[in-house]
Amino acid sequence: MRIFRTRRASGAVALALASALVLPACGSGGSNSDLELSDKPVTLRFTWWGSDARHERTQQVIDLFQKEHQNITVKGEFKDWNGYWESLATTVAANDAPDVIQMDELYLASYAERGALFDLATASKHLKTADFDPNALATGQVDGKQYAVPVGLTVYSMVVNTDLLAQYGAQLPDDSSWTWDDLKTIGDQISKASGGKVTGVQSWGFDAGGVNIWARQAGASLYDDTGNVVIPQDVLAGYWSYLADLAKTGIAPQPSVTIERASAGLDQSGTATNSSVFGTWWNTQLTSLTKASGQNLKLLKLPGEAQAKSPGAYYKPSMFWSVSSRSKYPAEAALFVDFLANSEAAANVLLTDRGVPANNKIRAMIASQLTETDKAAVAYLDSIKVGPAPRVTPNGASSIEAILKRHTEAVLFGRSTPDEAAAAFIKELQVEIDRA
Amino acid sequence: MSALGDLRRIKGSTRGSPQKRDNRTALAFLLPWFAGLGLITIGPIVASLVLGFTDYNLIQPPKFNGVDNFTRMLSDERLHQALGVTFTYVMVSVPLQLACALALAMLLDRGLRGLAFYRSAFYLPSLLGSSVAIAVLWRQIFGAEGLVNQLLALVGIEGRGWISDPSTALSTLIVLNVWTFGAPMIIFLAGLRQIPIMYYEAAAVDGASKWIMFWRVTLPLLSPIIFFNLVLQIIHAFQSFTQAFVVSGGSGGPSDSTLFYTLYLYHRGFNSFDMGYASALAWLLLMIIAALTAVNFWAAKYWVFYDD
C-alpha cells in the first residue's frame, strides 16, 4: 500500500516537478553581406499568417516566382495570427528565422530595433520601391532605415448594415457631419425598435485602431515621437466611459456577449451575424463581412471627424514584407519581396487579400478586376481625409492590444472605473516600453 | 526481507556476475532515454536557471541582471493575480476532484455488473480532459448560447456567458478539472481492492454501521492512496495550461480571471519578449510546488496510516 516508499519516489516527484520548467533557447549573429544573386540552387523560407484563402493565393504566387527564377525554391510556412508571433519569436531566438517575413506594424519596431531585420534599402538593386507613395513607404522605416515594405493600406471605418437599418425604420446618418452622440441616438433607436434582438452598435475597444482614432480626434496621440505613451488620462477615460455607456444602455450587447464575440473572430461578430447594425472595422474587411452576413453593408466615415481637432482617420499599413537580418540569401530574399510588391502577375492573384495595395501602380492596375465590395473599400480609402500616420508602435509595446482588451473587459464588467483603467493602462504600457 | 538483502549482497560482490552484465545491457538500452533526458530535460532546466538571472528578449544575447527578475516579482501585480487564480484553482478543484473520484470508486467497488465498461467510461475524461478538443467543447457548452444556457432556458432561467464573465469563468475551468477524476478513481479502486475483507467482517461482528466502517476502516487504510493522489493532483493542477489557454482564447481573460500561472509565464516569455523573467517565474513555480509537496510529506506523518 505504501506508494512513496523509497528514494525512487522522490525521484519521480522531482521529475514531475521538473516538467514545470520551460525550454528556452539561445542564438547568436551571423550574416552575409554579399548582395549578388547566386546562380546555384537557393532555398528561401517565407512565413505569413492568414486564412486558407490567403494560403492558396500565396502558394500560387510562389509558383509564379519559381517559374521565373528556376534556381530559387521558396518554402512557405503559414500560420494563424495567434500562433504566428510565438513561433516567429522562437525561430528568431534559435537563429532559424525564415528569410522573408510577413510583418505587422505592432511588431515592426520590436524586431527592427533589436537587429532582427535587414535594411532593404541596401538591396535596392533587386527591390524597387519607386511606385510607392513616399508616405506609405515611410511607415516601414524605423530609425530612418527601410526595414519593411508596406503591402497594403487600410483605414478604420464604421460598417453599417443598411438592410437592418431600413427594417427598424432608421435613417442612414449623414457621415460627413455625424457625432459620437448621433451614433448613440441612432443605436438606441434600433435597440429599442428590435426589442434587444438586434443591438444598434457592436462594442469595440479591443484593437489599437479604435483608441488611436479617439486620441487623434481629441488632438492627442497614443505615443510621442520618441515612443513614450502620451495619451492624456482623461481622453482615454472618456473613451472607456463611452464604451461602458453603450453597454449599460443596451445600445451595445451585454458585456459577456461582447467579449465572447470579440474573441471568436470575424465570422461570429455582431456585424457578420446581423445582430448589430453599426460596428467598427478596417475598410478592407468589408468583403469578408458581407460574405458572412449576406446582407447589404456600407462603409461610413467615423463619427466625430467633422468636429475633431485633427482628423482621426489615418492610413494603416495592413502588413509589411521584411527580410531576416540573418538570412543567408538577402539578395534573393529582396528579389522575392520585389516580386510580391511590384509584379503585376502576383498582384493579379493577390488582389486585395492583404489590403488595398500600397503600390500605386498596382492599385490602379487591379482596380477593374475587383468585386463590388472590394471596389467600395478602395473608393472609401480614396475618399477619406486622413492625417499623418501615427508613430510606429514602439519597441516593447507589441502587446498593446492584449493590454487594451484586458482593461476594456475590466471597465465593461465594472471592475475598474474608466479613470482607473486609463491610469493603469498608461502606466503598464509605459513600463513595457521602458523595459524593452 | 533481510534474507533477501543478504542474497543481494552476496550476488553483488561477485565480479562479472550475470547480473552485472545484465545491468550493462540495460544501460545500453536506456542510453537513448538518458540522452533525451540530458538534451531535452536537464539541459533546458539548467539553461532556464541561468536565464532566470538575465534580461533576455529572445533576439539579442541575454544580459546578466543579478536578482532583478526576482525583486521585480514582489511588485508585479499581474503575477499576484496569477498566483491568486492558480491557488484558488488548485485548492478548490483538487479536493472536489478527489472526493468525486473516491465516491465513484466506492460505488464501482460493489461488484457492479459491467464494471469494466463503467471504469472505462469514467476514465475517459481523464484521457481527454487536458486536450484541446475538450477545451473547445467547453467553450461551446458554457458559451452564451451553449448547452448549459439552453438547459437553463428550459426551466425558465436566463443564463449568461459563463466563460466570458469574469465572475464565473474560473469556475468553469474548475468543473472541467473535477470532471477528469478518472485517473485518481482507478487508483482508488485498486486501493479499495487491497483492503482485506476481514477488517470489514470484524467490524460487522462488532456492530459497526456502514458509515463507521467508512470512517474507521476504509479511510485509514486508504490514506496512503489518498496521499499519493493528493500529491500528484496538486502538482498536476499547478501546471495546468491547455484548458485556460484554449478556453480563454490564450488571454487568461476575461479581465485576467483565468490567468493561470503557466499562462502568465508563457505570455511574458513568448508574447512580451521577456524570457529572462519568464525563466525566473518558472523557477518560482518549481519552488512553490516543491515547498507545497514538502509540506504535504511533513503533514502526511499525522494522517497517513501505513499498514505494513
Domain CATH for A82: 3.40.190.10
Q: Are residues A236 and A129 in the same domain?
A: no
Residue A30 lies in a domain: no
Q: Do B231 and A257 touch (CB under 8 A)?
A: no
Range(s) of chain B covered by CATH 1.10.3720.10: 68-303
Q: Which amino acid is at A157?
A: S
Residues from chain A contacting residue B41 (CB–CB below 8 Å): 18-19
Q: Which residues of A touch B164 (CB under 8 A)?
A: 255-260, 263
CB A393 within 8 A of CB A208: yes
**Chain B closest CA to A417's CA: distance in Å?**
13
Beta bridge partners of A160: A278, A298
Judge if A103 and A162 occupy the same domain: no
Over residues B131-156, mean pLDDT: 84
The whole-number pLDDT of residue A7 equals 44
- Quick one: pLDDT band at residue B221, thresholds 50, 70, 90? very high
A26–B231: do the CB atoms touch at under 8 Å?
no
Note whether A57 and A353 are within 8 A (CB). Answer: yes
ipTM: 0.84
pLDDT of B64-91, one tens digit each? 999 999 999 999 999 999 999 999 999 9
* Backbone phi, psi, residue A132, to 5°: -95, 145
Taking alpha carbons only, the member of A51, A145, A136 closest to residue A362 is A136
Q: Which of B144, B251, B307 sits opposite A405 (nearest CB)?
A: B251
The angle, 0 to 180 degrees and rounded to 10, between the axes of the packed helices B132-142 and B147-154 is 30
pLDDT of residue A31 exceeding 80, the answer is no
Interface test with B, best of A6, A19, A259 (most B CBs within 10 A): A259
- For chain A, helix, strand, coil in percent to 5 are 45, 15, 40
What pLDDT does B158 receive? 78
Largest separation between any pair of C-alpha atoms in chain B: 80
Residue B140 pLDDT = 84
Mean per-residue pLDDT, B37-45: 89
Residue type, B122: F
Grid cell at residue B187: 487508483
Percent of chain B as helix, strand, coil, to the nearest 5 = 75, 0, 25
Give the minimum alpha-carbon distance from B164 to chain A in angstroms, rounded to a whole number: 5
Does the pLDDT at position A408 exceed 90?
A: yes
Cβ contact A1:B191 at 8 Å:
yes
pLDDT at residue number A121: 93
Residue A393 inside a domain? The answer is no
Copy the grid coordinates of residue A123. 538591396
Give yes or no for residue B273 having a pLDDT over 60: yes
The alpha-carbon gap from A357 to the nearest alpha carbon of chain B, in Å, equals: 29
Helical (H) or strand (E) element with B62: none
- Phi–psi pair at A435, nearest 5 degrees: -75, -25
When divided into structural domains, chain A yields a total of 2
- Residue-level pLDDT at A268: 87
Distance of CA B166 to the CA centre of its chain: 24
The alpha carbon of residue B51 is apart from the nearest alpha carbon of chain A, in Å, by 8
Q: In A, which residues are within 8 Å of B143 by CB distance?
A: 260
Residue B4 is predicted with a pLDDT of 46
Q: Which domain holds residue A327?
A: 42-152+318-382
Predicted TM-score (pTM) of the model is 0.85
Q: Distance from B259 to chain A by nearest Cα, in Å?
A: 11
B296 touching A (Cβ < 8 Å): no
Name the residue with higher pLDDT: A108 or B134: A108
> B189, B273, B279, B285: best mutation site toward chain A, by most A Cβ within 10 Å?
B273
Confidence of residue A389 (pLDDT cuts 50, 70, 90): confident
Does residue A409 share a domain with residue A332? no
Q: Is B228–A22 a contact, with Cβ atoms under 8 angstroms apart? A: no
**Range 133-192 of B in CB contact (< 8 A) with A:** 143-144, 160-161, 163-167, 191
Q: From chain A, pick out residues whose CB is under 8 angstroms from the CB of B48.
A: 21-24
Look at residue A119 and give its three-state secondary structure. coil
Mean per-residue pLDDT of chain A? 89
Mean pLDDT is lowest, of A104-108, A289-293, A340-344, A352-356, for A352-356
Q: What number of other Cβ atoms are within 10 A of residue B206's Cβ?
A: 8
Interchain contact, A26 vs B61, CB within 8 Å:
yes
Q: Cβ–Cβ contacts within 10 Å for residue A388, how many?
A: 13
Asked if residue A301 and residue A414 are part of one domain, the reply reads yes
Nearest CB to A20; choose among B191, B232, B282: B282
Q: Is residue A427 part of a domain?
A: yes
What homologous superfamily does CATH list for B68-303? MetI-like (1.10.3720.10)
The verdict on a CB contact (< 8 Å) between B270 and A18 is: no
A180 domain residue, yes or no: yes
Q: pLDDT of B244-261, one tens digit each?
A: 888 888 888 788 999 999
- d(CA B122, nearest CA chain A) in Å: 23
In this prediction, what percent of chain B has a pLDDT beyond 90?
Answer: 54
Are A328 and A226 in the same domain? no
Using CB atoms and an 8 Å cut-off, which of residues 234-253 of chain B contact chain A?
235, 238-239, 248-251, 253
pLDDT at residue A24, as a whole number:
35
Overall average pLDDT of the A93-118 stretch: 94
Subunit contact B164:A405, Cβ cutoff 8 A: no
Distance from CA of B93 to the nearest CA of A (A): 19
- Cα–Cα distance, A152 to A161 (Å, whole number): 25
**pLDDT tens sequence across A296-327:** 999 999 999 999 988 999 989 989 999 999 99
Residues on chain B touching A255 (C-beta within 8 angstroms): 164-165
Q: What is the pLDDT of residues A267-285, one digit of tens each?
A: 889 999 999 999 999 998 8
pLDDT tens column, A119-174: 999 999 999 999 998 888 989 999 999 999 999 999 999 999 999 999 999 999 99
Which range, A383-387, B113-117, B142-146, has the best average confidence (pLDDT)?
A383-387
**Higher-pLDDT residue of A264, B296:** B296
Residue A379 amino acid letter: A
Q: Enumerate the residues of chain B whose CB falls inside 8 A of the CB of residue A86.
A: 270-271
Mean pLDDT, residues B53-60: 92
Calculate the average pLDDT of chain B.
88
pLDDT at residue A34 in the model: 57
B98's enclosing H/E stretch is: helix B77-108
Q: Are residues A299 and A352 in the same domain?
A: no
Same domain, A167 and A214: yes
Cell of B269: 516569455
How far is Cα A319 from Cα A105, in angstroms, rounded to an integer?
7
Q: Output the pLDDT for position A2.
A: 53
For position A134, what pLDDT does the model report? 84
Chain A residue with the nearest C-alpha to that of B275 = A24
Q: Which residues of A touch B267 (CB under 8 A)?
A: 399, 402
pLDDT reading at A432 higher than 70: yes
With CA atoms as reference, report the closest residue to A203 among A145, A263, A125, A128: A263
Residue A13: pLDDT over 50: no
pLDDT tier at B308, thresholds 50, 70, 90: low
Q: How many helices (H) and strands (E) does chain B have?
A: 16, 2
Distances (CA, A) of A18 to A173, B53, B59, B102, B132: 61, 18, 26, 28, 23
Interface test with B, best of A1, A19, A257, A431 (most B CBs within 10 A): A1
